[in-house]
Amino acid sequence: MKKNLSRFLNLLVLLAAMALVGCGARAPKEETIKIGAIVELTGDMPAVGASSRNAAELAVGALNHAGGIVIAGKRYRVELVTEDNAAKPDQSAAAANKLITQDEVIAIIGPNASLGAIPAAEIAEANRTLLITPWSTNPKTTLDTASGKPKHYVFRACFTDPFEGRVLAGFITGKLGARRAAVLYDVASEAPKSQAELFRQTFERLGGNVVAFETYTTGDRDFSAQLTKIQSAKPDVVFLPAYYNDVGLIAQQARRQGIDGILIGSDAWSSPELVKLAQGAVEGAYFANHYSTDIATPVAREFIAAYQQKYGKIPDDVAALTYDSMGLLFQALKTASAPERQAVRDAMAAISGYPGVTGDIRFTPGSGDPVKSVVMMQVKGGQFAWVTNAAP
Amino acid sequence: MTSASVYWLQQILNALQLGSIYALIALGYSLVYGILTMINFAHGDVFMVGGFLCFLAATLLGLPFVPTLLLTMTATAGLGVIIERMAYKPLRNAPRVSAIITALGVGLFLENLTLAFYPYPQHVPPLLLNVTWRLGGLALSSLQLIVISLSLTLMLVLDYVVRRTMVGLAMRAISWDKTYVPLMGVPVNLIISITFAIGAGLAGAAGTMYSLAYPVIDPYMGIMVGWKAFIAAVVGGIGTIRGAMIGAYILGGVEIIVVALLPSTYRDLVVFSLLLALIVIRPHGILGAPRAQKV
C-alpha cells in the first residue's frame, strides 16, 4: 500500500515537472530563418571544411550585424546550422536529410567535395530544397542521374570539370608545350575521377599522348608501384587531380622515384595546407584555381581583409566560393516572393549578374552551373602565384 | 641493364620497403598470439601512435633521427605494457570474445584520443637523409634503403633474442604450455609484459619509419596497415616469428606486383583473394603447425 502510494506521488511529481518545462521557453523571439551548411570538418580534408565554415559564419555574421535580411517585406535574422559530413558520401546524405526535415532550413550550402556534394544534391532535389555547392566541380552534382538533364534545385558557385579539363589540357600543350602526360588519380573519389577522364579526352584531342593512366584508392599511402610505372613511361608532365592531403605524399614519392616532370594539379590543390604537407616537392607545379589574391577586385579585397581580420589567415578559394554562395543565397532570399523553398529557388535561378569575390556569377536558364573563368596558379617559393586567367 | 630489368628491380625495392614495415607490425601480432593466443587488435593503432610520437619528437623536441627512433620505440613499448596490464591482464581467464572486444575498444580509444589532439593530418619533418642516386635507369632512394636495412636489423635482433637468450626461451616456453611453465620458476607475468613491450616497440619503429617514408600522418592510418599486417601474420603462420616475416614480405610483394601488372584498382581485391586462397590451402599458415589440444 505504502509502495503504491509513493509510486503514485513520484508519477505526479514527474508529470508536474514535465508540464512546467514548456513554461520557460515562451520568451518572445524575433523571426529567424535558418540556412544549413554541410562542411568537411573532420575526415580527409578538414582544412576545406574549416575554410568553408569560416566564410559562411563571416557572411552570416556581417548580415545579421547589418540588421538581418528582408524577405517579402518582413525582417529576419539568419541562423546558420552547420553539419559535419566527415568528407564521406553517406554522412553527407544523412546531414542533408537532417537539415531539411529536422532543422527545416530554407536552403543548404555545401558540401564542398564532389564525393559529398553529389549525394547531398540528390537528397535536396528529392525534397525540393535549394542547395548550392561552393566548390564541387563534378558535373554530376547538378545533373539528374536518371535523365541526364539538369537538376532544378541544385546550383554551384564554381566552374565544372569539363571546362577545367579543357583549360588544363590547353595550358599544358600551349604554354608548356608538353606532349606526353601521365595521370595518377583516386578512383574512389568523384571529382578526381571525372577530372582525370576529361583531361585524358581533351589532351588526346589536342594531339597529346597520355603515356600512363594510373589509379589508387582513397586512403592509400604508398604509390611507389604506380609511380615506378609512370617513371618508366617518361612523361613531360604528371597530372595529379588529388586533394591536398594526397598531393603531399604523391609528390614527394614521385621525386624520390626520380620523376622530374612538371606536376599539374586541379582546383583541389588550392588549400594553404598543400605546401605545408608537400614541401619542396610541389615547387614549380601549376594548378587550376577559382580565384587569386594577386588579381583581387575591390569586392575581393574587402572580403580578404574582413576574413583576415576575423581569422588571421588569407582566405583560400573554398572560403571565397562559400562567401559567394552565401551572397548568392542572400540575394535570392531578398528577391524571393516569400520565405518558402520554392520561391527562394526561383529567385536564385533568376540571378543574372552577382558581383562575387570570385568574379561575376550568372546562371543561364535551365542550368545550375555558372559561367566562370579558371585561374591558373603556380607554386613559387612555397606561395601560390597567379599565372593567367582562362575564360570560357 | 635493360630497362625492363631496371623497372622490375625498382619494383622489388618498393616491395621490400612495404614488406619491411608490414613485417615489423606483423611480428607484434605473432608474438602476442604465440604467448597468449589472443589477437591484439589494438596493435595497428599502437603503430599509429608510434608515428605520432615520432612526429612529436621531431617537431616539439627537435630531435634527429636516431634519438627519435629510440624514444619512440621506448615510449610505444611502455604503451604496450600499460595496455597489457590495464586491459588484457584482468581478462586472461575471461572468454576469448571479451578479450577481443577489449582489444578493439583499446584501438578505438587510441584513435579517438589522437583525433582529439590532431584532427588535421600532420606533416612529419624529414629526419632521414633523402638522397636519390641514379644508377643507369634505377632510382635508389636512401630512405628506402634505410627502411629496409633497419627493419632487417631489428628482425635479426629479435630472432637472436628469441632463440639465444633466456628471455626468449621463457617466451617460447610459455607459448608452448602456460600451465606447467610457471611451476618451473618462470615469471609468467613479467615475460608476458616483456613480449608486449617488444611487439609494441617494433610497431613503434615501424610507425617511425612509416611516418618518415609517408610523411602525412592522421589518426586512422593504423587501421588498414594493421589489418594487412595481421593478415600477413596469419598467412605466414600466426604465432611464429619467421612466419610473420615471410607473410609480410609476400603481402608487400603481391601488392606491388598487382599494381605493376594490373590497374591499381584491383590491388586489394587480388591481394586478399590470394591470401584467402593461401589460407584455404594451408589453414595454419605457411609456417604454422597444427597444435594438439591437450585435454
Query: Is A121 a member of any domain?
Result: yes
Please give the model's pTM, rounded to 2 decimal places.
0.77
Contact A224 B17 (CB under 8 A): yes
| Residue A96 sits in the same domain as residue A141 | yes
The answer to whether residue B119 scores a pLDDT higher than 60 is: yes
Of all residues in chain A, what percent carry a pLDDT higher than 70? 95
> How large is the average pLDDT for residues A97-104?
93
Residue B147 at interface with chain A, using a CB cutoff of 8 Å = no
Rounded Cα distance between A334 and A318, Å, is: 24
Min mean pLDDT across A22-26, B165-169, B172-176 is at A22-26
Of all residues in chain A, what percent carry a pLDDT higher than 90? 46
Contact A248 B216 (CB under 8 A): yes
- B197 min Cα distance to partner chain A (Å): 27
| Residue A239 sits in the same domain as residue A146 | no
CB A92 within 8 A of CB A102: no
DSSP A211-274: EEEEEE-TT----HHHHHHHHHT--SEEEE---HHHHHHHHHHHHHTT--SEEEE-GGG--THH
Domain ranges of chain B: 25-221
Q: What is the pLDDT of residues B254-283, one digit of tens each?
A: 999 888 888 777 888 888 898 889 889 988
The answer to whether residue A19 scores a pLDDT higher than 80 is: no
Rounded Cα distance between B249 and B253, Å, is: 6
ipTM of the complex: 0.75
- A206 min Cα distance to partner chain B (Å): 25
Which of chain A's residues have a Cβ under 8 Å away from the Cβ of B7? 228, 232
| Residue A179 sits in the same domain as residue A318 | no
Helix (H, G, I), strand (E, B) or coil at B56: helix
Most B CBs within 10 Å, among A224, A247, A279, to test the B interface: A224
Nearest residue on chain A to B253, alpha-carbon basis? A225
- B131 min Cα distance to partner chain A (Å): 8
Query: Is A303 a member of any domain?
Result: yes
- A108 min Cα distance to partner chain B (Å): 25
* pLDDT for position A29: 54
Which residue in the set B17, B139, B216 is minimally distant from A258, CB to CB? B139
The answer to whether residue A392 scores a pLDDT higher than 80 is: no
| Residue A194 sits in the same domain as residue A280 | yes
Query: Is A367 a member of any domain?
Result: no
- B177 min Cα distance to partner chain A (Å): 40
CATH number at residue A351: 3.40.50.2300
* pLDDT for position B154: 94
Residue B59 at interface with chain A, using a CB cutoff of 8 Å = no
Q: Which amino acid is at A76?
A: Y
Please tell me whether the peptide bond between A111 and the residue prior to it is cis, using omega within 30 degrees of 0: yes
Rounded Cα distance between A115 and B186, Å, is: 57
| Residue A133 sits in the same domain as residue A217 | no
CB B197 within 8 A of CB B246: no
| Residue A221 sits in the same domain as residue A322 | no
Query: Is A371 a member of any domain?
Result: no
The answer to whether residue B60 scores a pLDDT higher than 50 is: yes
| Residue A255 sits in the same domain as residue A183 | yes
| Residue A51 sits in the same domain as residue A90 | yes
Residue B20 at interface with chain A, using a CB cutoff of 8 Å = no
Residue B121 at interface with chain A, using a CB cutoff of 8 Å = yes
* pLDDT for position A27: 42
Range of the domain at A187: 162-289+376-390
Query: Is A327 a member of any domain?
Result: yes
Of all residues in chain B, what percent carry a pLDDT higher than 90? 54
Which of chain B's residues have a Cβ under 8 Å away from the Cβ of A189? none
Q: What is the pLDDT of residues A224-269, one digit of tens each?
A: 889 998 998 999 999 999 988 889 889 989 988 888 889 999 988 9
Count of domains observed in chain A? 2
Query: How big is the A-B interface in CB pairs under 8 Å?
Result: 91
Which residue in the set B130, B218, B256 is minimally distant from A256, CB to CB? B130
Q: Which residues contact B159 (CB under 8 A, 6 or more apart)?
A: B241, B242
Contact B215 A252 (CB under 8 A): yes
Which of chain A's residues have a Cβ under 8 Å away from the Cβ of B255? 225
Helix (H, G, I), strand (E, B) or coil at A141: helix
Q: What is chain B's mean pLDDT, rounded?
A: 89
Contact A224 B256 (CB under 8 A): yes
Contact A228 B260 (CB under 8 A): yes
- B288 min Cα distance to partner chain A (Å): 29
* pLDDT for position A26: 45
| Res. B165 pLDDT band, cuts 50 70 90 | very high
Residue B2 at interface with chain A, using a CB cutoff of 8 Å = no
* pLDDT for position A20: 61
Give the closest residue to A31 by CA, choosing from A69, A62, A88: A69
